[in-house]
């Protein structure tokens, strides 16, 4: 078991050598991080603060040549800087000298990084207190709020129907997702699949696909499916369904990964077969988290179904979009009020159910 | 001879050599206690006997039959004849006490029947009898996690009794209980051993319990048997050998 070559060296030497190697690796990491910090600082100061704010240019000059120049400059600066072993990255990777120079550099450069980032963010978002508090702007807002708070009940019947449509779309997407997600989640649980190479490959590929599907917003899925199956409630439902499966499969399989192994061992020891072990030792441990995730997801889906309606054909979201386009703010007021009310009720109910089953 | 372990080795994937050639035999009706420090291989040994862990080399003979390489249905049949009780009880928290006890019978039930919860009247009767043996019949309808530690371990014993085991393995069954409860739980193992003649192999930490309940003792140290014999013969010198020079015996009552 033990390598003879290793036995000839004393353990202390091995530890020392490992430490030296680790320090070298960390120093190289520190150089790369310093290059990033310096490159970032120069770019932010030059582009966001100097060009955009001080020169107030509308179009910022861009060429790969200039970027490359900045990069070369920052590499030269940061490499020579890192070798003094007083930089922020040296400190982060634990290879810095422990002296006053390090302390000051870390503090000053840290603040500098934070501040230029904040200022750049301010400039990019065009944060303007003048716009926020201009008399004209406030007047517009007052008019809008006034309309929103005096809703037009003439469209109540239509809005109610659209609202019900939205809730049912969310409900159906959630219900259909349950068996599919359950089935998938067992194949994406690491502890069940890590056994051999084939199952682990299935696990890995499935996880990859789910991550990809999940990273695409339901709104985008709705656009895709409204081309695929035509604009309407079905496209919205299927968009929600796809996203629900991808998100919940991750949560479900994490619940499976988190079960206690003790009961599994105990049931296996009675001579039970695989199906019996899953049913008696795994399922009781995951039923509650599954229910809880699913109910919470229905709640999320009602909100998402509203948003999906914005791209067309489905329920209350579409209605909101139409009246907003016509600038009929009293009607918009009613719709917003109803959405808020339903979301609040759903939130409350789902919280109560989740509390009750635990 | 109910159990014969020959030259048993276990090397874990991380290279840990947990068992280094274990040899011993167990006669029917014995109360064999395995002692040793944490990490000496006690739990690994028990789990190799009922094949919860696959031994790397060597053989385990149960009732005169080599069970080291049996698989599938045959392996489950072997497991069904060997009961096991764990340190952390390993009950299904959300199930009732009764359902937990019945789950001991799973090895002998049809898959579909067990999934739909269809159990015959005989099984219910047997479950109540098992609970009566450990003295908590009145808790049958309660949720398993509402019971105290000692009661949960008694449910676990009742669960293993459902298997009508020829051999009962107990992996530090009282290590997470207080001294008084420990003793009362150990008395149920003694009862099973004496009244039903069930052979018991039990991992224990406290020597006072070992002296009281064991008919024979095996001591493990880093995967090897360093002592085998009568519990009353373990003197100061042996104690130091087994547990290290700094150890001192503490008495629990």
Out of A55-59, A159-163, B123-127, which region has the weakest mean confidence (pLDDT)? A55-59
**Which tokens go with B82?**
């060997």
3-state secondary structure of A314: coil
Q: How much is the average pLDDT of B75-87? A: 93
Residue A7 has what pLDDT? 47
A270 part of a folded domain: yes
User: Per-residue pLDDT tens for B31-75?
Assistant: 999 998 888 999 999 999 999 999 999 999 999 999 999 988 999
Average of per-residue pLDDT values in chain A: 87
Comparing alpha-carbon positions, the chain B residue that sits nearest to A357 is B94
A176, A99: one domain: no
Confidence of residue A145 (pLDDT cuts 50, 70, 90): confident
Pairwise CB contact (< 8 Å): B92 & A270: no
Query: How many CB contacts within 8 angstroms connect chain A with chain B?
Result: 80
Q: Is A284 on the interface with B (CB under 8 A)?
A: yes
Pairing mode of beta strands B216-221, B31-35: parallel
User: Per-residue pLDDT tens for B175-212?
Assistant: 889 888 999 999 999 999 999 999 999 999 888 889 99
Q: What are phi and psi of B64, to 5 degrees?
A: 75, 10
A333 part of a folded domain: yes
> Is the Cβ–Cβ distance between A305 and A290 less than 8 Å?
no
List CB contacts (< 8 A) between A284 and chain B. Answer: 92-95
Domain count, chain B: 1
Burial class (CB in 10 A: 0-12, 13-18, 19+), A30: buried
Q: Which of A224, A203, A226 is nearest to A213 (CA)?
A: A224
Q: Which residue numbers of B have CB closer than 8 Å to A's CBs?
A: 15, 17, 50, 52, 76-84, 86, 88-95, 103-109, 111, 114-115, 156, 159-160, 162-163
List CB contacts (< 8 A) between A276 and chain B. Answer: 106, 109, 111, 114-115
Q: How much is the average pLDDT of A157-172? A: 91
Under DSSP, the state recorded for A96 is: S
3-state secondary structure of A81: helix
- Please state, in angstroms and rounded to a whole number, the distance separating the CA atoms of residues B21 and B18: 10
Confidence of residue A10 (pLDDT cuts 50, 70, 90): low
A219, A302: one domain: yes
B249 part of a folded domain: no
Residue B152: which CATH number?
A: 3.40.50.300
Q: How much is the average pLDDT of A153-172? A: 90
A55 part of a folded domain: yes
pLDDT at A48 over 90: no
Confidence of residue A171 (pLDDT cuts 50, 70, 90): very high
> Is the Cβ–Cβ distance between B192 and B160 less than 8 Å?
no
Chain B: closest CA distance from residue A235 (Å): 38
A140 part of a folded domain: no
Chain B: closest CA distance from residue A286 (Å): 11
Find tokens 């019971």 and name the residue. B147
Query: Any idea how long chain A is?
Result: 358
Pairing mode of beta strands B65-66, B57-62: antiparallel
Q: Which of B54, B40, B52, B43 is nearest to B12 (CA)?
A: B54
Pairing mode of beta strands B199-203, B216-221: unpaired
A136 part of a folded domain: no
Residue A349 has what pLDDT? 87
What's the Cα-to-Cα distance from A269 to each of A142, B48, B80, rounded to whole Å? Answer: 71, 11, 7
Q: Does the model's pTM come out above 0.90?
A: no
- Please state, in angstroms and rounded to a whole number, the distance separating the CA atoms of residues A316 and A307: 9
Chain A: closest CA distance from residue B52 (Å): 7
3-state secondary structure of B96: strand
B183 part of a folded domain: yes
Confidence of residue B252 (pLDDT cuts 50, 70, 90): low
Range of the domain at B122: 3-243
Residue A2 has what pLDDT? 44
Pairwise CB contact (< 8 Å): A267 & B93: no
Chain B: closest CA distance from residue A66 (Å): 53
B49, B51, B90, B102: best to mutate for the A interface, most A CBs within 10 A: B90
- Please state, in angstroms and rounded to a whole number, the distance separating the CA atoms of residues A308 and A239: 9
Find tokens 């043996």 and name the residue. B133
Q: Is A272 on the interface with B (CB under 8 A)?
A: yes
Domain count, chain A: 2
Under DSSP, the state recorded for B54 is: -
**Which tokens go with B1?**
């001879």
pLDDT at A11 over 70: no
3-state secondary structure of B32: strand
Pairing mode of beta strands B199-203, B17-26: unpaired
H-helix segments, chain A = 4-8, 11-43, 64-82, 88-92, 100-124, 129-132, 135-148, 156-187, 190-193, 197-215, 218-228, 233-257, 261-269, 274-277, 283-309, 315-325, 329-357
> Is the Cβ–Cβ distance between A45 and A92 less than 8 Å?
no
Residue B251 has what pLDDT? 60
Range of the domain at A58: 4-127
Pairwise CB contact (< 8 Å): A268 & B115: no
Give the CA diameter of chain B.
57
Comparing alpha-carbon positions, the chain B residue that sits nearest to A282 is B92
A162, A240: one domain: yes
A223, A352: one domain: yes
B107, B162, B169: best to mutate for the A interface, most A CBs within 10 A: B107
CA–chain centroid gap for B130, Å, is 17
Find tokens 């699949």 and name the residue. A193
Q: Is A195 on the interface with B (CB under 8 A)?
A: no
Residue B253 has what pLDDT? 53
List CB contacts (< 8 A) between B173 and chain A. Answer: none
A141 part of a folded domain: no
pLDDT at A358 over 70: no
Pairwise CB contact (< 8 Å): B93 & A287: no
Among B78, B88, B106, the residue with its CB nearest the CB of A267 is B106
A297, A178: one domain: yes
Pairwise CB contact (< 8 Å): A271 & B17: no
Q: How much is the average pLDDT of A291-320? A: 86
A274 part of a folded domain: yes
Chain A: closest CA distance from residue B248 (Å): 32
Among B76, B89, B115, the residue with its CB nearest the CB of A271 is B76
List CB contacts (< 8 A) between B163 and chain A. Answer: 270-271
Comparing alpha-carbon positions, the chain B residue that sits nearest to A358 is B94
A233, A106: one domain: no
A80, A188: one domain: no
Q: Count of CB atoms within 10 A of residue A45's CB?
A: 15
A43, A106: one domain: yes
pLDDT at B127 over 90: yes
A185, A333: one domain: yes
Average of per-residue pLDDT values in chain B: 90
Out of A53-62, A285-294, A334-343, B111-120, which region has the weakest mean confidence (pLDDT)? A53-62
B252 part of a folded domain: no
A196, A261, A264, A271: best to mutate for the B interface, most B CBs within 10 A: A271
Which carries the bigger pLDDT value, residue B148 or residue A314?
A: B148
A211 part of a folded domain: yes
Domain boundary among A93, A127, A161: A127
- Please state, in angstroms and rounded to a whole number, the distance separating the CA atoms of residues A247 and A297: 9
Domain boundary among A72, A96, A127: A127
Give the CA diameter of chain A.
91
pLDDT at A218 over 60: yes
Comparing alpha-carbon positions, the chain B residue that sits nearest to A284 is B94
Residue A96 has what pLDDT? 84
Among B15, B92, B93, the residue with its CB nearest the CB of A280 is B92
E-assigned strands of chain B?
3-11, 17-26, 31-35, 57-62, 65-66, 82-85, 167-170, 199-203, 216-221, 224-229
Q: How much is the average pLDDT of B135-146? A: 91
Pairwise CB contact (< 8 Å): B76 & A279: no
List CB contacts (< 8 A) between B82 and chain A. Answer: 269
């Amino acid at each position: 078991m033990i390598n003879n070559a290793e036995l000839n060296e004393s353990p202390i030497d091995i530890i020392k050598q490992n430490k030296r190697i680790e320090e070298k690796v960390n120093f190289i990491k520190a150089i790369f991080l310093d290059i990033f910090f310096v490159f970032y600082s120069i770019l932010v100061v030059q582009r966001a603060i100097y060009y955009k704010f001080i020169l107030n240019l509308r179009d910022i000059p861009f060429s790969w040549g200039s970027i490359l120049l900045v990069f070369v400059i920052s590499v030269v600066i940061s490499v020579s800087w890192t070798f003094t072993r007083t930089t922020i990255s040296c400190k982060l990777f634990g290879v810095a000298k422990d002296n006053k120079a390090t302390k000051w550099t870390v503090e000053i450069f840290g603040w500098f990084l934070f501040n230029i980032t904040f200022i750049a963010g301010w400039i990019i978002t065009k944060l303007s207190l003048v716009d926020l508090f201009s008399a004209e702007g406030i007047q517009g807002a007052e008019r809008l709020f006034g309309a929103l708070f005096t809703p037009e009940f003439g469209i109540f019947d239509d809005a109610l129907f659209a609202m019900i449509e939205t809730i049912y779309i969310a409900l159906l997407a959630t219900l259909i997702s349950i068996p599919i997600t359950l089935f998938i989640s067992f194949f994406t649980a690491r502890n069940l699949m890590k056994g051999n190479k084939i199952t682990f490959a299935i696990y890995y590929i499935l996880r990859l696909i789910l991550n990809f599907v999940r990273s695409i917003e339901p709104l985008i899925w709705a656009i895709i499916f409204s081309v695929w199956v035509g604009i309407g409630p079905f496209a919205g439902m299927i968009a929600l369904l796809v996203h629900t499966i991808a998100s919940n499969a991750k949560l479900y399989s994490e619940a499976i990964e988190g079960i206690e192994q003790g009961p599994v061992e105990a049931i296996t020891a009675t001579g039970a077969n695989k199906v019996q072990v899953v049913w008696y030792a795994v399922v009781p441990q995951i039923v509650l988290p599954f229910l809880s995730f699913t109910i919470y997801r229905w709640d999320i889906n009602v909100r998402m179904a509203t948003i999906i309606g914005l791209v067309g054909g489905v329920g209350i979201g579409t209605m909101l979009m139409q009246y907003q386009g016509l600038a009929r703010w009293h009607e918009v007021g009613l719709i917003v009020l109803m959405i808020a009310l339903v979301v609040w009720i759903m939130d409350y109910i789902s919280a109560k159910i989740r509390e009750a089953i635990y | 001879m109910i159990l014969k372990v020959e030259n048993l080795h276990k090397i874990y994937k991380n290279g840990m050599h947990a068992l280094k050639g274990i040899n011993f035999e167990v006669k029917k009706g014995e109360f064999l206690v395995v002692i040793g420090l944490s990490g000496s291989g006690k739990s690994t040994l028990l789990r190799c006997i009922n094949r919860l862990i696959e031994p790397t080399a060597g053989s385990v003979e149960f009732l005169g039959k080599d069970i080291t390489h049996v698989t599938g249905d045959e392996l489950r049949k072997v497991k069904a004849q060997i009961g096991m009780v764990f340190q952390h009880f390993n009950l299904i928290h959300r199930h009732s006490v009764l359902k937990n006890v019945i789950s001991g019978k799973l090895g002998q039930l049809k898959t579909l029947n067990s999934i739909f919860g269809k159990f015959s009247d005989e099984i219910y009767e047997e479950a109540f009898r098992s609970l009566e043996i450990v003295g908590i019949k009145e808790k049958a309808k309660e949720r398993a996690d509402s019971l105290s530690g000692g009661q949960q371990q008694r449910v676990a014993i009742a669960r293993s009794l459902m298997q009508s085991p020829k051999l009962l393995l107990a992996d530090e069954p009282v290590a997470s209980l207080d001294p008084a409860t420990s003793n009362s739980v150990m008395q149920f193992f003694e009862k099973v051993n004496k009244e039903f003649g069930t052979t018991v192999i039990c991992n224990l930490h406290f020597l006072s319990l070992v002296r009281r309940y064991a008919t024979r003792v095996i001591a493990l140290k880093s995967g090897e048997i360093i002592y085998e014999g009568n519990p009353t013969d373990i003197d100061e010198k042996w104690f130091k050998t087994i547990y290290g020079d700094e150890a001192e015996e503490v008495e629990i009552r």
